[in-house]
Structure 1
Amino acid sequence: MAGTETAFSRALRSSIARSGLSLDRIQARLQANGIPISVTALSYWQSGKRQPERQSSLSAVRVLEEVLGLRPGELLRLLPPPRPRGNPRRRAEPGTVNFPTQALQALLERIGAPHALEQQHRLKLVSLHDRCEIAEDGAQRAMTAKAVFQASADNQDRWLLVYDHGGSAPPRLHALRNCSAGRVEVDTKYGLTAAELLFDRPIDRGDTQVIEYTLTNAGPPYPACENTYYREFRRPVREYLLEIQFDAPPVACWQYSQTADAEGRRQLALDTTGGVHAVAMDFGPGVFGISWG
């Protein structure tokens, strides 16, 4: 199978050639540094057949830069962000395509909202601001969200939050502003949780409501997040702001997006506080997120 030439594969192949090291010797040096990797994987990386995506592979690239005498981040910065894989740390609205449909519907029935998916249009998500905290070990400690809704029907008094925590324990939900936590149901088989956020007051057609809540994971150690955080939007959102705050800033960060018509990515610069942000305007349906390595 022919590889697809990328900036990463070109730089890696050139660096290996300059080093004078064989792939076998590179593999041995990586293993001596506690990085188990096959010669086949190294060959695929330099030919463009594969690219490092998982956290273990990104760690291998960091050590590979040292073995080849490169500056920290010289190869990592050339990598595109990982493809979304139904990340366990994702937070999404009901009906997101990666949720098992039957399991999700059963969960909605248990929480007393069997028709939630058909009734989403009654409450439009106008604006969303996520702030994700990444601990020093690279795992997710907490996520705080501020959402602005506009009602398209009278007497809207709650928002149903559904999130996927995979095999980890469900994060603790705390209502921070203009809402309170209602019923919570957990599906341990599929790692799904559904929770009601009850508005402090019902809103009618045309009215807006701002709520704020946080999801906090137990730890340390905190659940791994595969070096990425993203939202999937079933319907367009006017504005989405995503902030990632790092206890230990990574070498490089990327913004990425996927819709039915296009994919996009660009590198992001860390700010003076060790954080990074990205903004999507009039976005969706689709996926929007930030990756780091």
Structure 2
Amino acid sequence: MDRRPSTRTSDFASTLDAAIRERGLTLAELRRRLEHLGTPISESALRFWRTGARRPEHRHSLDVLDNLEDILGLGRGDLTARLGPSRRLRRSRADATDSIAGTPGVLQPLLETIGCVDLAELERLSDSVVIEIGADRRIRSASNRSLWRSRVEGGRRLMVPLSIDSPTESRPTISVRGAEEGRWAYDSATGWAVWELLLPRGLAIGETAVVEYSCTDIVDTEDVTHFACSAERRLAHAGLWVRFDGDPPRWNERIEEDDTGLSTSVISPMGSSVHRTVQDFGPGLFGLRWTW
């Protein structure tokens, strides 16, 4: 199957890349200007748009494009006119993996690299994620405790997809409990990686297992302003707890994105941390973002 971006999407990406180069701006500078204009977006999302690995889809993303055209000195519609019709389709079980990344074809090659067709052996029922932010405003550690249920007889393989903002050539170190680390695959062009974790034994259909994994050698080159979790299928319950070393950010917001679009709501910190929970959610993304 041809996994190259469509001609229209490639045209959008090449136009954006050329405009950024002509202006001599870094993605970090673009992100700061967009945030100042009230349309915050992650540096990784800008990188995906620029390379054609992901495309703007929802209302918020289109608002970002309007400001992006102004910042880059482009005419109104110079970017949006090159998007073409939306490629978002009703998600099926087969493409549930790449719905995490936002663009079909991004995660599937990584899964094939480590010998996995999809994420069908085990389904995630619940998630609890804890993020530690240091006084330098960088992520010190990220941990996840999740409950999995086997969908097949003998199921024991689960896959952990992760978007890595800072390019890396070495395999990040993760600490795993309840399973052992298997293979991994990473695509520096898109910033996505996939880990294989193996349970101690195969599960019977419907049997559950708890797995916990954490990562402490995370390299950030910019102040962290958001963290989002993905749900490739519907989750009964999930939570995200972000803890700050010192004073919390001055402004915090919940974010959710699924087939219905992007929704946000402002929240107040609890001491030096913020948290949020979702129930019966997915497929989609949920998370927190903040302003220092």
After superposition, the CA RMSD in angstroms is: 3.2
Q: Which residue of 2 aligns with 1:109?
A: 112
Number of residue equivalences: 210
1:283 matched to 2:286? The reply is no
C-alpha contact (below 8 Å) 1:54/1:226 kept by paired residues: no
C-alpha change, 1:183 and 1:126, in structure 2 (3 Å) is same
Counterparts in 2 of 1:225 and 1:123: CA distance versus 1, 3 Å: farther
Indicate how the Cα distance of structure 1 residues 147 and 140 shifts in structure 2: closer, same or farther if over 3 A, else same.
same
Residues in 2 aligned to 1:206 and 1:234: alpha-carbon distance in whole angstroms: 19
Q: Per-residue deviation at 1:231?
A: 1.8
Q: If you compute each CA radius of gyration, which structure gives the higher value, 1 or 2?
A: 1
Aligned to 2:236: 238
CA deviations 1:243-270 (Å, max 9, x no partner) are: 1011241112111222323643332222
Partner of 2:175: 175
Instruction: Name the CA distance, whole Å, in 2 between partners of 1:289 and 1:126.
Output: 18
CA shift, 1:191, in A, is: 2.5
8 Å CA contact 1:140–1:217 kept in 2: the answer is no
- Who is 1:266 aligned against? 265
**Taking structure 1 as reference, are residues 200 and 228 closer, same or farther at Cα in structure 2, changes over 3 Å only?**
same
Contact 1:175 1:197 in 2 (8 A): no
Q: Taking structure 1 as reference, are residues 165 and 263 closer, same or farther at Cα in structure 2, changes over 3 Å only?
A: closer
Equivalences for residues 18-97 of structure 1 within 5 A: 50-51=37-38, 53=40, 94-97=97-100
Q: 1:270 to 1:190 in 2, by over 3 A?
A: same
* TM-score when normalising by structure 1: 0.62
Q: Distance in 1 between matches of 2:100 and 2:176?
A: 28
Q: CA offset at residue 215 of structure 1? A: 2.1
- Over 3 Å counting, the alpha-carbon distance change for 1:281 and 1:172 in structure 2 is same
Kindly provide the amino acid, as one letter, of the partner of residue 259 in structure 1.
Answer: D
Partner of 2:252: 253
Give 1:204 shift: 1.2
Kept after mapping to 2: 8 A contact 1:173/1:216: yes
What is the alpha-carbon distance in structure 1 between the residues aligned to residue 165 and residue 111 of structure 2? Answer: 18
For 1:160 and 1:263, the matched residues in 2 are separated by 26
| Closer/same/farther in 2, CA of residues 98 and 183 from structure 1, 3 Å limit | closer
Q: Could you give the per-residue CA deviations for residues 131-183 of structure 1, whole angstroms, max 9, x where no partner exists?
A: 11122232222210001011121111121112121442267242331111111
Closer/same/farther in 2, CA of residues 83 and 271 from structure 1, 3 Å limit = farther
Unaligned runs of 5+ in 1: 1-35, 57-81, 86-92
Q: 1:202 Cα shift?
A: 1.5
Question: After the TM superposition, which parts of structure 1 deviate over 6 Å for at least 4 consecutive aligned residues?
Answer: 82-85
Per the alignment, residue 126 of structure 2 pairs with 127
Which 5+ residue runs of structure 2 have no aligned equivalent? 1-28, 44-59, 65-95
Rounded to whole Å, the distance in 2 between the matches of 1:155 and 1:128 is 22
Distance (Å, rounded) in 1 between the aligned partners of 2:223 and 2:122? 30
State the distance in 1 between where 2:265 and 2:153 align: 41
Among all aligned residue pairs of Structure 1 and Structure 2, give the percentage whose two residues are the same amino acid. 22
Distance 1:225 1:206 in 2: 42
Shift of 1:108: 1.9
